[in-house]
Structures are given as structure tokens and as C-alpha cells.
């Protein structure tokens, strides 16, 4: 969800959004739509778009390691047996897909909860299956969701290999802390690499209580950049 706000400065617009929507520092992303500085014939104006709450894109990017009640998770080194038609067929589909890609590997279920099922691909070629920055793994997950959705539209499939998703989240947070230290020391803002909504939320949340900096999202579309800004 999003809503737009206007004020004389960005800070005033952000405070207006926080007060009206009842938000906390890590609960929203800010996109600068217009920022007019005061001039001879111009009045200062800052217009922002505030993204808050969970939209469908963010729900699809939910953390692989999130734990909620009624979750069934396989112990490390083991797997869960498929209990539904959609699970069995999705495993068969992924195993065939891996084979057609020319790699060795086996897809197994490692957790399930409500309408979500986690599938792990165990393979000696995991680095190729994951791909650069997880792009191959994301593509496999997308295809698996299309296939599973044709059987059960309510099912959500999370595909992982070698705990890549968990390690990726940890790397994002470490990089955010490292960059925040540089920003605080140098007094100069820095932009992080483009990230999806869930990854940006990780950064905002991690740095919410980091003294001396604040964060905001910049850009358009799904993949935006987080700017880390020094504050006095």
C-alpha cells in the first residue's frame, strides 16, 4: 500500500506521513516524487510517496527462515514426505527440470506451513542452480510457482539450495551495517544496490536503531535502492 504526502521539506513530509499513518521508522519506504527548492519565484515543495504495510509483492518475498505457529520443518539432513498431489507433482516437475538443465540434483520438501511449502534442491551443481546473486534460483522458484499454481492456486512454493536465501539475507544486513558505519564516519550518504521490497525492509529494519543514520528508498518499480543518510 502507498500514499502520497506534500510539505515544504522532505522531513516535514515524512513526519506528516508518520503521524497520519501511525508508522515507525522501519515500517515504510519513501520515494521522492518531487523536490522543489526555494527560489526567487518558487515556493519550496517536497512530494513523497510512502509505501507501508505488506502488499502482494512483499508477501511473496517473505523470509525463508520466518517461523510461525503450526509450521512443520524437517530436521537438518532429512526431509518431509509429500502429503498432497500438488507437492508430489511439484517435486517431480522440479526433478525433471533439473535434469533437463543438465545438472544432478534432487528436490525434497524441508518445510510446510498453511499454504506454503519449502523445497530444497540438493545438488553437487548447486552454484550453477543458484546462479549469480540467486537469479537462477529465483527463476526456478518462479517456474515452480506457475506449475504448482495450475494445480492449487492457493499454494506458494519457496525453492532454496545450500541455505542460499538465509545466507543472502545475512549478507544484506552485514553490508547495511558496514555501509552505515562508513556513512556515519564520513558524513556522506551512500546508495546500496537495487533490492526488492523484502530486501529493502531488511535494511530499514536493521538500521532503524543505528545511531547517526537514517534510510530511505529511491527509484521506481519493484527494484529500488536504499540510501543511507547521515543525521546529526
pLDDT tens-place string over residues 40-95: 556 778 877 777 665 444 444 444 444 444 567 766 667 889 999 999 999 999 99
Judge whether 217 and 30 are in contact, CB under 8 Å: yes
CA 57 to CA 120: how far, in whole Å? 22
Q: Which of 150, 98, 149 is nearest to 125 (CA)?
A: 98
List every span in the chain annotated with CATH 3.30.300.20.
72-162
CA 30 to CA 36: how far, in whole Å? 17
Residue in the block written with cell 543525521: 231
Fold of 164-232: Ribosomal Protein S8; Chain: A, domain 1 (3.30.1370)
pTM over 0.75: no
pLDDT tens-place string over residues 156-175: 999 999 999 889 989 999 99
Superfamily name and number for 72-162: K homology (KH) domain (3.30.300.20)
Gyration radius from the chain CA atoms: 21
Amino acid at each position: 500500500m502507498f500514499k502520497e504526502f506534500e510539505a515544504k521539506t522532505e522531513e516535514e513530509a515524512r513526519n506528516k506521513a508518520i503521524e497520519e499513518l501511525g508508522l515507525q521508522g522501519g515500517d515504510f519506504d519513501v520515494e521522492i516524487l518531487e523536490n522543489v527548492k526555494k527560489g526567487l519565484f518558487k515556493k519550496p515543495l517536497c512530494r513523497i510517496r510512502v509505501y507501508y504495510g505488506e502488499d502482494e509483492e512483499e508477501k511473496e518475498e517473505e523470509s525463508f527462515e520466518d517461523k510461525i505457529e503450526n509450521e512443520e520443518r524437517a530436521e537438518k539432513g532429512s526431509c518431509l514426505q509429500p502429503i498432497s498431489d500438488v507437492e508430489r507433482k511439484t517435486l517431480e516437475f522440479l526433478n525433471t527440470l533439473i535434469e533437463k538443465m543438465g545438472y544432478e540434483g534432487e528436490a525434497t520438501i524441508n518445510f510446510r506451513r498453511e499454504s506454503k511449502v519449502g523445497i530444497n534442491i540438493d545438488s553437487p551443481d548447486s552454484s550453477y542452480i543458484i546462479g549469480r546473486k540467486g537469479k537462477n534460483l529465483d527463476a526456478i522458484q518462479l517456474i515452480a510457482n506457475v506449475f504448482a499454481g495450475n494445480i492449487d492456486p492457493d499454494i506458494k512454493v519457496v525453492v532454496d539450495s545450500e541455505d542460499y536465501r538465509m545466507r543472502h539475507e545475512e549478507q544484506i544486513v552485514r553490508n547495511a551495517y558496514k555501509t552505515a558505519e562508513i556513512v556515519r564516519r564520513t558524513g556522506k550518504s551512500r546508495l546500496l544496490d537495487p533490492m526488492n521490497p523484502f530486501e529493502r525492509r531488511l535494511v530499514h529494519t536493521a538500521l532503524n536503531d543505528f545511531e547517526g543514520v537514517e534510510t530511505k528508498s529511491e527509484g521506481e518499480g519493484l527494484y529500488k535502492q536504499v540510501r543511507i543518510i547521515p543525521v546529526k
